[in-house]
Structure 1
Amino acid sequence: MATLNDAFTLPGGSTLINRIAKSAMSEALGTMDNRATDKLVQLYRTWGAGGTALLFTGNIMVDRRALGEPGNVVIEDDRDMDTLKAWAAAGKENGAEIWVQLNHPGRQCPKGLNKESVGPSAVEFNKSMQAFFETPRELTAEEIEDIIARFAKAAGICREAGFSGVQIHGAHGYLVSQFLSPHTNQRTDQWGGSTENRRRFVLEILKAMRAATAPDFPIGIKLNSADFQRGGFTEEESLEVMSALTDAGINLIEISGGTYEAPAMTGVRESTRKREAYFLDFADKVRKRIPETPLMVTGGFRSAAGMNEALASGSLDICGIARILAIEPDVSRRLLAGDNPRQTVKPIKTGIPLVDKMAIMEVTWYTRQLHRIGSGKAPRPNEAALKVFLISVWETFTGMRKTRRLRAS
């Protein structure tokens, strides 16, 4: 029966000093031309000193033409190698491992940020989201192969920079998730149609990443348990994809769920909240299907007792936390000592119904706290949501203008 304080060795030999991982959060701390910065070094040095065993970076893009938001870091080449090395070293200073989450937004990028948005198929967003996201252009077969190569090249650069591993972002409605879902992937070629064809994209990414790194270099994936959309990615399909990834040599699977159109947490039952780990029931099913694959569950953990109870169940190996680390960067030390967090993660509401319904402040408000930590300041757990929203609207608008201007120059 594992506990938070137990070490854990991943396939390939990488050993975590305990069972707590920081799941990816979007930092948006890159420059407007998408380069890594010293603020990321400071942020991950702070988290690495806080007792967390495994740190996942947030949303590192593989194509400068396809950003998820202004300030994304993009890894296309080794031009930022010195900063990347400093970033990796800072995260590992106190014994933590640091993995880079690699991503492509596909259709899930704000309208006007990129020259165009692309996806497996030209599927529009639901009506409530169409003001913010445009209908994507369908990718060609050649473009799909190019994106696969970009994931692989970025993984190779991450390994050279000294990062401990990489994670494919296959959840939350981004491009890999779009390929997996029959709702957003309506292709009839080798990349769509059957479940086997829809998972070909992620399996080819894993294969190319492995060839670009090393047999013992850890590669993980964040994957939805389901999309929670009618006609979308189902739990059974998710289990099939996880089995295929296991056969292909994945080192760690992080379970999550939902998309921008259907945030998973908005429909969580009260009984599930009390159990703390939102996806623990699904993790039980995964463990039975692929018992040999290390599993990480993120979402809902609030206490040391809840995390230890989840670990003792045997359904997972690593407990993922995220937002609490944006307001209490050293919370892992307290959890490892058996104490509960001093701060409380709570819904962020602006009072503007449309904004609050889309749950965008669950990203925006916490990202602002990361900016404070990256600047060497303390987070503000009680900062007003409406104030942050208005600041973020202005910063996003000016950031998009700067990004487009720099891209055109």
Structure 2
Amino acid sequence: MSQPNALAAPFTLPNGSVIKNRICKSAMSETMGDEDGGPKPELAKLYGAWADGGLGLCITGNVMIDARALGEPGNVVIEDERHLPQLKAWASAATRNGMQCWVQLNHPGKQSPKGLNAETVSPSAIPFRKDMQAMFATPRALRDEEVLDIIARFANAARIVKAAGFSGVQIHGAHGYLVSQFLSPHHNQRQDQWGGSAGNRRRFVLAVLKAMREQVGPDFPIGIKLNSADFQRGGFTETESLDTIRALAEAGIDCIEISGGTYEAPEMAGLKESTRQREAYFLDFAEQARKLVSVPLIVTGGFRSFAGMQQAVASGAVDLVGLARLLAVETDAPRRLLAGQDPAQKISLRRTGLRMIDDSGMVEISWYADQMKRIARGEAPDPGISTRWLMAKTMVKLMFAGRGRPQRLRAR
């Protein structure tokens, strides 16, 4: 007898929420916010396409909690309820056919291109590596009252997400953004309650989780995307990540998505060939985490085949498999996987040949964002789009965004 399709089995979270299958769309930045930070109608069309494609769980691209702190031009921002009708329309499309949709909430910290915001902030005033300083400014260290304000903003945004009708929220604690910066001894060199020891560096993310829970209650899922490691000298290590996972589990997190890397050290760095052969880049780490906690786990990164995904779930190492770039070029890939078939599309890294840009990961973000915009317009994805042409268009957009939208938002 053939092995049952593990991807097709429903999964029940500890709080009772049911995800209809084990396939999760991980976050990709869509950059479909309007000039006031509201979600454009195209987002509902895009997420409706994914809902029609068979996904069990869909996690949105990073939604910012502060209009003064954008990660890319076109971010959606949730600061108050002014955009609640648009958010409700997005949520309605994104939860049809029984798909759960969680909003990923984020603050970029220092990881925002020059010119986009008036300034960048971080736990400490640590610059980027030298070859990236032309694109990213040295941040200002956050004051204690600003840290508390950011925690409150995460919680308030989660409240609004629930009111809009989404299924849950995810804290973006990976890939070098602010939560990740607080966890990293490289980026966080504070000597107050928010730094100086691994326990103090974890205090920020635990405070965000606690504040969110107070706003949304016990039955609304709160997940987190967390680095297994930063792959950066002096950064967040696997040991510290496992300790953080244990602390988050004890604090009542509902799901942990495992990833890795930052703009300065992308996730592909340091991966062994044996890891690549298993498809999922972080599956070995997930197996370590599984020995420590029972909290549901998602691994994102590297999955290519039905067999690889099937084995990851059937082994018990993970509860859901995370897909991202594939779903920007093949929205109905889940239907093939649920039928036991491989995806029709093959995914490869998108490069311009310009190392500074390629190392930052910005070209990947822009290229796949362009594919998602095509889907949102009702067009088919186009894998043949030139990465250099798209990067030039993005840089022009960034230049004009820095002169316009953020300043208008700050002026409210």
Identify the TM-score tier after normalising by the shorter chain. Answer: over 0.9
SS in 2 for 1:85: helix
**TM-score, normalized by length of structure 2?**
0.97
CA 359–69 in structure 1, closer or farther in 2 if over 3 Å, else same: closer
SS in 2 for 1:186: coil
| Larger displacement relative to structure 2 (86-95 or 391-400) | 391-400
Write the deviation string for residues 227-258 of structure 1: whole angstroms up to 9, x where unpaired: 11111111111011111111110000000000
Write the deviation string for residues 345-383 of structure 1: whole angstroms up to 9, x where unpaired: 101122334333433212111111111111221110121
| Larger displacement relative to structure 2 (247-256 or 366-375) | 366-375
* Alpha-carbon distance between aligned partners in 1 of 2:282 and 2:199, rounded to the nearest angstrom: 24
* Alpha-carbon distance between aligned partners in 2 of 1:107 and 1:50, rounded to the nearest angstrom: 36
Q: Runs of 4 or more off by more than 6 Å in structure 1? A: none
* Paired residues of 1:53 and 1:97 also in contact (CA < 8 A): yes
CA 244–408 in structure 1, closer or farther in 2 if over 3 Å, else same: closer
* Paired residues of 1:279 and 1:299 also in contact (CA < 8 A): yes
The counterpart of 1:293, out of the listed 274, 292, 295, is 295
Write out aligned runs for 1:205-244 (5 A): 205-244=208-247
Unaligned runs of 5+ in 1: none
Name 1:26's counterpart in structure 2. Answer: 29
SS in 2 for 1:211: helix
* Paired residues of 1:278 and 1:299 also in contact (CA < 8 A): yes
CA 172–408 in structure 1, closer or farther in 2 if over 3 Å, else same: closer
How far 1:149 sits from its partner (Å)?
0.4
- 1:93 pairs with 2:73: no
The counterpart of 1:50, out of the listed 42, 49, 53, is 53
Name 1:105's counterpart in structure 2. Answer: 108
Name 1:397's counterpart in structure 2. Answer: 399
The counterpart of 1:335, out of the listed 327, 334, 337, is 337
AA in 1 matched with 2:343: P
CA 358–150 in structure 1, closer or farther in 2 if over 3 Å, else same: closer
Write the deviation string for residues 33-88 of structure 1: whole angstroms up to 9, x where unpaired: 21111011111001111011100001100001111111100001111111111111
CA 404–358 in structure 1, closer or farther in 2 if over 3 Å, else same: closer
Name 1:175's counterpart in structure 2. Answer: 178
| Larger displacement relative to structure 2 (204-213 or 348-357) | 348-357
Write out aligned runs for 1:346-357 (5 A): 346-357=348-359
> When the two structures are aligned, how many residues end up with a matched partner?
408
* Alpha-carbon distance between aligned partners in 1 of 2:286 and 2:207, rounded to the nearest angstrom: 25
* Paired residues of 2:132 and 2:356 also in contact (CA < 8 A): no
Unaligned runs of 5+ in 2: none
Identity of aligned residues (%): 59
* Alpha-carbon distance between aligned partners in 2 of 1:408 and 1:244, rounded to the nearest angstrom: 36
* Alpha-carbon distance between aligned partners in 1 of 2:353 and 2:299, rounded to the nearest angstrom: 31
* Alpha-carbon distance between aligned partners in 2 of 1:18 and 1:156, rounded to the nearest angstrom: 26
Write the deviation string for residues 311-345 of structure 1: whole angstroms up to 9, x where unpaired: 12111000000000011111111111111111111
How far 1:32 sits from its partner (Å)?
2.4
* Paired residues of 1:2 and 1:311 also in contact (CA < 8 A): no
* Alpha-carbon distance between aligned partners in 1 of 2:157 and 2:406, rounded to the nearest angstrom: 23
Write the deviation string for residues 139-177 of structure 1: whole angstroms up to 9, x where unpaired: 111010000000000000011111100000000000000
Name 1:313's counterpart in structure 2. Answer: 315
* Alpha-carbon distance between aligned partners in 1 of 2:213 and 2:89, rounded to the nearest angstrom: 24
The counterpart of 1:136, out of the listed 126, 135, 139, is 139
* Paired residues of 2:38 and 2:86 also in contact (CA < 8 A): no
